[in-house]
Amino acid sequence: MNRSNIEEVLPLAPLQEGLFFHAMADSDAAYTVQTILELEGALDPARLRAAAQALVDRHANLRTAFVVVPTGAVQVVLRQVDVPWTEAEAETVAGAGAGAGAGAGSGGSGPGVRGLAAAERARPFVMDAPPLIRFLLIRTGPRAHRLVITSHHILLDGWSAPLLLRDLFSLYAGVPAPRPRPYRDYLTWLAARNRDESLAVWRRVLDGLTEPTLLAATAPPTPATVPPTPATVPRTPAAPPTPMVGNAGEAGAGAPGGDVTAAAPDHIPVPLAADIQQRLRGLARDSGVTLSTVVQAAWAITLSRFVGRGDVVFGATVSGRPPEIAGVESMVGLFINTVPVRVTVDPAETVAALLGRLHRTQSETLDHHHLGLAEVQALTGLGALFDTLVVVESYPVDNAAIDRVRAALGVEITAARTEDATHYPLTLVADPGAELRLELEHHRGLLAPHRAREVGELLGEVFAAMVEAPDALPVARLAVAAPPRFAAENAAENVGPEHPVSFSSVVGVWDGVVAAG
């Protein structure tokens, strides 16, 4: 690394520490994120390549190398890097089925697209050789292309993905954009936090917890299994990465140790009738809480049924963007974190009372979401506290900026999909858009498929029951209790529990942003 090309040296954010640990352990395949865009129109490849280079020039954190120095792990921002750019032609197979290509549809792509994209995703990043983002443009027809953007999750969270795409196409279209606030400002904010104060808050929240809440036979690795980062590196020992909120909300880590595999998850929809969805929104409004709080309460009740006790813990992905940093909502980088959510389910308590209590606990920890998960879990002495995750997708979109870019683009983005990863055996993904969409992602190697389906079925029952009489109905009457020996039975049914699993979530990060009105 040429010293004259070094712009600055910065510490790592807590989640970056964990992701870097996994990368150094050669187990970072699950943290490769890939977005594939279908483009229709008179695209200028040379102009798009120049825009990709300008994008990397614009955002300093895209020019970052991750290295270990005598004092610990740091990120080194370079002044200039060349963007990795590849162009290819994909063979179009007449009559190919919809599953033959990546994002099959407009343009009709054959297996060449899928193979080229898979090869990009399989190619590992070298952490000290930035940029950890690369572009592949595949021509699939006279006026059809696929743009494949592959990056390491250590650079970006799901909130950042639409922002990055907006900037890329603004640069392509020549639409002026304000100067971005650098990721460095967030790291500076982190360094100024009172760590002892935050630890004290989490210690109170977790006080008295006697056991973790695990649905699968194999628990995630405990903090003790992770080599500590030298004390001179700010904040936390290196932790197993916490789930990313990304493109599905990002989900990313803290699950079983070992080598990462490339298996995709099973996806189990949790259908809710339209009237139930509307009443759930009304329940949140009348209770003075967010829909996210309602989702978390339902998940806590469901977990309580399956593990047979009232004191449960699960993970929740948080945006990690502190409102006191002006313009933080438009910053590009890795801000997300995973925090434990502890809920004591009192059978005699009403739904409304449970929601109010959960909201108060969340408010207590809101200013302390920045601590690394391993450091928080270490307070209990129990190791990993949970093996399920709740991700509620919610990204603000500047529709006016998107409209300006679309008008000047000259190319239509007809579809988009993103693949990211998580290691948790079971993840609940909630998209509270115009329609509340719920889906369970699970890996059958860690959780028997029929058990995952049982969880989804009971969760649907709980949601439906919560809206019946929230001010009067006790929690105990929300659903038929599942056998409390669930975890023990599941242990005998699991297959290959020693292997962690990468999840692959197909999410429309950009389609909701640029879809034709």
Same domain flag for 434 and 297 = yes
Domain membership of residue 515 (yes or no) is: no
Domain range enclosing 66 = 7-184
In this model, does residue 240 exceed pLDDT 60?
no
* Domain of residue 12, CATH code: 3.30.559.10
pLDDT of amino acid 396: 63
| 193's tokens | 């936090």
In this model, does residue 19 exceed pLDDT 60?
yes
3-state SS, 166-186, equals HHHHHHHHCCCCCCCCCCHHH
Least confident among 33-42, 298-307, 477-486: 477-486
Same domain flag for 178 and 225 = no
| 32's tokens | 């490769």
**What mean pLDDT is reported for the chain?**
80
Domain membership of residue 53 (yes or no) is: yes
Same domain flag for 159 and 199 = no
Residue pointed to by tokens 């389910």:
345
Domain membership of residue 509 (yes or no) is: no
Same domain flag for 163 and 257 = no
Q: 238 or 110: whose pLDDT is higher?
A: 110
Last residue of one domain, picked from the residues 128, 162, 184: 184
Same domain flag for 57 and 83 = yes
pLDDT of amino acid 241: 31
Cα–Cα distance between 281 and 242 in angstroms, integer? 29
pLDDT of amino acid 154: 94
Is residue 264 within 8 Å of 442, Cβ to Cβ?
A: no
Is residue 509 within 8 Å of 418, Cβ to Cβ?
A: yes
3-state SS, 471-511, equals CCCEHHHCCCCCCCCHHHHHHHHCCCCCCCECCCCCECCCH
Q: CA-based Rg of the chain, rounded to a whole angstrom?
A: 23
Same domain flag for 170 and 137 = yes
Give the largest CA-CA distance in the chain. 68
Distances (CA, A) of 396 to 159, 160, 162, 248, 496: 8, 10, 9, 14, 40
Same domain flag for 317 and 425 = yes
Cα–Cα distance between 153 and 296 in angstroms, integer? 25
| 286's tokens | 């009348």
Same domain flag for 261 and 141 = no
Domain membership of residue 414 (yes or no) is: no
pTM for this model (two decimals): 0.78
Number of domains in the chain: 2
Handedness of CA 127, 128, 129, 133 (dihedral sign): positive
pLDDT of amino acid 27: 54
Least confident among 76-85, 410-419, 435-444: 410-419
Cα–Cα distance between 409 and 468 in angstroms, integer? 49
Same domain flag for 175 and 240 = no
Q: Is the peptide bond before 162 cis (omega within 30 degrees of 0)?
A: no
pLDDT of amino acid 101: 39
Cα–Cα distance between 427 and 335 in angstroms, integer? 20
Residue pointed to by tokens 């917890």:
209
Same domain flag for 26 and 145 = yes
| 305's tokens | 């049924």
Least confident among 131-140, 183-192, 414-423, 443-452: 414-423
Q: Give the confidence band of 2 by pLDDT, cuts at 50, 70, 90.
A: confident
| 213's tokens | 């809440």
Same domain flag for 179 and 224 = no
In this model, does residue 111 exceed pLDDT 80?
no
* Domain of residue 265, CATH code: 3.30.559.30
Domain membership of residue 507 (yes or no) is: no
Residue 466's nearest CA partner among 213, 271, 281, 269 is: 281
Last residue of one domain, picked from the residues 136, 165, 184: 184
Q: 152 or 493: whose pLDDT is higher?
A: 152
246 burial (CB, 10 Å; 0-12 / 13-18 / 19+) is buried
Domain membership of residue 175 (yes or no) is: yes
Same domain flag for 176 and 268 = no
pLDDT of amino acid 481: 53
Q: What pairs with residue 39 in β-bridges? A: 145, 413
| 453's tokens | 């389906």
Domain membership of residue 126 (yes or no) is: yes
Q: 400 or 438: whose pLDDT is higher?
A: 438
Q: Give the confidence band of 26 by pLDDT, cuts at 50, 70, 90.
A: low
pLDDT of amino acid 423: 75
pLDDT of amino acid 489: 57
Provide the residue count of the chain.
Answer: 517
Domain membership of residue 401 (yes or no) is: no
What one-character DSSP code corresponds to residue 227?
P
